[in-house]
């Protein structure tokens, strides 16, 4: 077997914006467009970034960088990130740097994010990186201590790229966000996904919601939205495989109730207390599940079948009709671990779907059968004090 190639790291949109701004100011002040600029990262490391293009338009300079996400599946990989720079004398003395959002940079319209409402979606760390890059250039030109420098970040394809992100749900409209906490994109970054979850939860909480429904992806979210069809869209947050992190984060933000709406396979992993559910090994899942089945049914033959199964879906075929207590055991254990993660001040509930969206189990009262065809609806435990 060939050894696996080491995955390549890249740089963030924040780093690209800072590099573009630095190159544009160098062109504006020195009259020469650089091919490469060096950017100081938050951890004080330095990174060389290639400049894609530079030009002067009157008293303004514009430069662009092609964002390189390395081997990370980032929607902004190969996107053009640019900066438009101009300056005036600051009669009051000292350096002032104003950062603006241009074409393709989103605007924040909801509370709960790191940037205030009405501001361009350029996060604090990228803002500091842009400011540091500008100051480095100013310091290299004597006599430029009293300048007001204007930096406008733009992303020509930002509006289209934003459609592939969660920005609209977070209340960021008109383009992408300029992000990054380290300046570097690590392949398949867990931190990036966690940051998205944290932002979604923060926005939901800031809008006044006290109860949140956590799903593991688009399909489970769609089924959950059909169950709670009258609830605000912000009440639903996709958490992927980040079980423990998401529950802890929601509890820390002050949600009074957390509801997990997941498929049976994810529920089995959560029932084992697996923090990051993608990492659980199937054989371990089957062995533990077989033990639970034996406890609640006293059927050793069923336990052997479960232990020899390859997938949770195969197990579900064995138990859903004749041994619903096995599904209940999974649900109760899932909620037990979730409650441990949430702490005593936050209540936890849950729903387990089969792979077609039928509700197998809920921690509340099932009034009617439910299937996603829309023929009937299920009324389960309410998220608030209403009767539905």
- DSSP class per residue in 38-65: EEE-TTS-EEEEE--EEEEETTEEEEEE
- Claim to verify: residue 81 and residue 200 sit in the same structural domain: no
- Claim to verify: residue 251 and residue 146 sit in the same structural domain: no
CA distance 374 to 378: 10
Average pLDDT over residues 279-299: 81
pLDDT surpasses 70 at 89: yes
Q: 371: pLDDT confidence band, cut at 50, 70 and 90?
A: very low
pLDDT surpasses 70 at 385: no
Helices and strands, number each (H, E), in the chain:
12, 16
Domain boundary pick from 127, 161, 185: 185
- Does any domain span residue 301? yes
pLDDT number for residue 1: 45
In the numeric block, the tokens 């909620």 are attached to: 335
pLDDT number for residue 386: 36
- Does any domain span residue 384? no
pLDDT tens for each residue of 32-64: 999 999 999 998 899 999 999 999 999 999 999
Cα separations (Å) of 116 from 88, 122, 125, 172, 218?
26, 10, 14, 11, 28
Q: 364: pLDDT confidence band, cut at 50, 70 and 90?
A: confident
Average pLDDT over residues 96-109: 97
pLDDT number for residue 367: 28
pLDDT number for residue 311: 83
Answer whether 158's CB lies under 8 Å from 105's CB.
yes
CA distance 68 to 344: 44
CA distance 284 to 8: 32
Question: What CATH number is associated with residue 42?
Answer: 3.30.2110.10
- Does any domain span residue 249? yes
What burial letters (b/e) apply to 325-345, b meaning 16+ CB within 10 Å? ebbbbbbebbbebbbebbeee
199 phi and psi angles, rounded to 5 deg: -65, -45
pLDDT number for residue 8: 87
- What would the two tokens of residue 115 be? 């940037």
pLDDT number for residue 73: 76
In the numeric block, the tokens 């579900």 are attached to: 316
- Claim to verify: residue 177 and residue 248 sit in the same structural domain: no
Consecutive H or E run containing 114: none
Closest CA to 352 of 193, 224, 248, 162: 224
- Claim to verify: residue 144 and residue 195 sit in the same structural domain: no
- Claim to verify: residue 179 and residue 194 sit in the same structural domain: no
Consecutive H or E run containing 345: none
**Angle 95-96-97 from CA coordinates, rounded to 5°:** 120
- Claim to verify: residue 233 and residue 169 sit in the same structural domain: no
Answer whether 346's CB lies under 8 Å from 250's CB.
yes
CA distance 238 to 262: 10
By three-state DSSP, how is residue 259 classified? strand
CA distance 82 to 84: 7
- Claim to verify: residue 236 and residue 352 sit in the same structural domain: yes
- Claim to verify: residue 312 and residue 235 sit in the same structural domain: yes
The more confident residue out of 296 and 186 is 296
DSSP 176: B
- Claim to verify: residue 197 and residue 297 sit in the same structural domain: yes
Q: 267: pLDDT confidence band, cut at 50, 70 and 90?
A: very high
CA distance 80 to 58: 22
pLDDT number for residue 279: 54
38 phi and psi angles, rounded to 5 deg: -105, 125
Full residue range of the structural domain in which residue 78 is found:
10-185
* Count: domains in the chain: 2
- Does any domain span residue 2? no
Answer whether 156's CB lies under 8 Å from 82's CB.
yes
By three-state DSSP, how is residue 122 classified? strand
Q: What is the pTM of this model?
A: 0.77
- Does any domain span residue 376? no
- Does any domain span residue 255? yes
- Does any domain span residue 306? yes
82 phi and psi angles, rounded to 5 deg: -125, 165
The more confident residue out of 383 and 302 is 302
- Claim to verify: residue 121 and residue 228 sit in the same structural domain: no
Closest CA to 12 of 164, 152, 127: 127
Average pLDDT over residues 211-226: 93
Domain boundary pick from 185, 214, 232: 185
- Does any domain span residue 293? yes
Domain boundary pick from 169, 185, 201: 185
- Claim to verify: residue 45 and residue 139 sit in the same structural domain: yes
- Claim to verify: residue 98 and residue 151 sit in the same structural domain: yes
């Amino acid at each position: 077997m060939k050894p696996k190639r080491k995955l390549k790291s890249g740089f963030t949109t924040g780093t690209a914006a800072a590099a573009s701004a630095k190159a544009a100011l160098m062109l504006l002040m020195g009259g020469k467009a650089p091919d490469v600029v060096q950017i100081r990262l938050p951890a004080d490391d330095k990174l060389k970034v290639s400049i894609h293009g530079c030009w002067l338009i009157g008293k303004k300079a514009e430069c662009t960088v092609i964002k390189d996400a390395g081997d990370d599946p980032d929607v902004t990989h190969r996107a053009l990130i640019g900066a438009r720079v101009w300056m005036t004398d600051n009669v009051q003395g000292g350096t002032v740097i104003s950062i603006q959002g241009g074409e393709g940079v989103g605007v924040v319209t909801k509370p709960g994010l790191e940037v205030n409402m009405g501001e361009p979606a350029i996060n604090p760390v990228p803002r500091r990186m842009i400011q540091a890059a500008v100051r480095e250039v100013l310091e290299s030109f004597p006599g430029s201590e009293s300048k007001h420098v204007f930096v406008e970040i733009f992303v020509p394809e930002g509006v289209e790229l934003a459609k592939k992100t969660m920005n609209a749900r977070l209340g960021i409209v008109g383009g992408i966000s300029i992000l990054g906490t380290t300046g570097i994109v690590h392949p398949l970054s867990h931190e990036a996904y966690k940051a998205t979850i944290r932002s979604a939860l923060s926005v939901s909480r800031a809008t006044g919601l006290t109860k949140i429904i956590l799903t593991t992806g688009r399909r489970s979210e769609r089924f959950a939205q059909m169950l709670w069809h009258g609830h605000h869209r912000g009440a639903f947050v996709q958490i992927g495989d980040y079980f423990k992190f998401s529950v802890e984060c929601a509890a820390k933000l002050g949600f009074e109730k957390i509801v997990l709406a997941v498929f049976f396979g994810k529920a089995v992993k959560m029932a084992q207390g697996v923090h990051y559910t993608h990492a659980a090994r199937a054989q371990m899942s089957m062995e533990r599940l077989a033990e639970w089945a034996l406890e609640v049914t006293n059927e050793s033959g069923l336990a052997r079948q479960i232990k020899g199964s390859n997938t949770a879906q195969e197990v579900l075929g064995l138990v859903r009709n004749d041994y619903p207590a096995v599904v209940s055991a999974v649900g109760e254990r899932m909620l037990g671990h979730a409650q441990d993660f949430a702490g005593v001040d936050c209540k936890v509930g849950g729903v387990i779907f089969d792979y077609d969206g039928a509700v197998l189990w809920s921690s509340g009262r099932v009034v009617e059968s439910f299937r996603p065809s829309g023929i009937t609806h299920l009324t389960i435990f309410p998220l608030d004090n209403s009767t539905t």
